Homo-oligomer: A and B are copies of this chain.
Amino acid sequence: MKEEQTFTIKQTAKETGISEDTIRYYEKIALLPRAERKDNGHRIYRQEDIDTIQLLSCMKKTGMPLDEMRPFLAVSTDADPAEYPELVELLRSHRENIVSQIASLQQVVDFIDMKLEKGKYRRDCSDEIQDDVSDNRMEEPKSKSISTVQMNYFSVSAGMGTGNHL
């Protein structure tokens, strides 16, 4: 049998684009399982670990909170998700979230395109919010269309280089 290739934390960081510190942090908060160690205590990673971290990175890019990523890691390649009905439900609901997030993003792309090719269509951007019901409950955000999103304070911070930062 051929030995599987292993990686140091540094290599893993480079491979995944996630910093060493962050990888250790993910392990610390148990988002990642405790990595195997060599005799000297150094962590070792395998391709499958890198795949996992890449999935995390993927979700991270989309602004998903770390806690919400946990269920995804619970779904192993081999395990049949159908055996865990609640997990399936969770995945489905997450899928819905993500699909609506894609819609939001597409709206922003549309907005930019409209701006870039100067004046065009415009559609809705909001969708049901069912997550963070803080103190003042927003019953139903009325899902009104953003008709030709307009904001007319170009003067306020225009001229590029918003005055101070960047």
Which B residues lie within 8 Å of A91 (CB)?
A: 112, 115-116
- Chain B residue numbers with a CB within 8 Å of A50 are 144
Is A17 a contact partner of B146 (Cβ separation < 8 A)?
A: no
Classify chain A's interface size.
35 or more
Instruction: Determine the chain B residues whose CB is within 8 A of the CB of A113 once the complex forms.
Output: 95
Contacts of A54 in B (CB 8 A): 125-126, 144, 146, 149
Map CB proximity to B onto A132-166 as digits: 1 under 8 Å, 0 otherwise. Answer: 00111011011010111111111011111110011
- Asked if A126 contacts B58 (CB within 8 A), the reply is yes
Q: Tell me how far the C-beta of A162 lies from the nearest C-beta in chain B, rounded to whole angstroms.
A: 6
Choose one: B51, B62, B88, B150; the contact of A63 (CB below 8 Å): B62
With a 10 A CB-CB cut-off, give which of A88, A94, A153 has the most chain B CB atoms. A153
Residues of B with C-beta under 8 A to A147: 51
Is the CB–CB distance between A74 and B108 below 8 Å? no
Q: Nearest-CB distance from A47 to chain B (Å)?
A: 8
Please measure, in the bound complex, the distance between the C-alpha atom of A162 and the C-alpha atom of B118, giving whole angstroms. 50
| Beta-carbon nearest neighbor of A139 in chain B | B14
Q: Can you list 7 residue pairs at the A/B interface with Cβ under 8 Å?
A: A10-B136, A17-B138, A48-B152, A70-B162, A72-B111, A76-B154, A81-B115
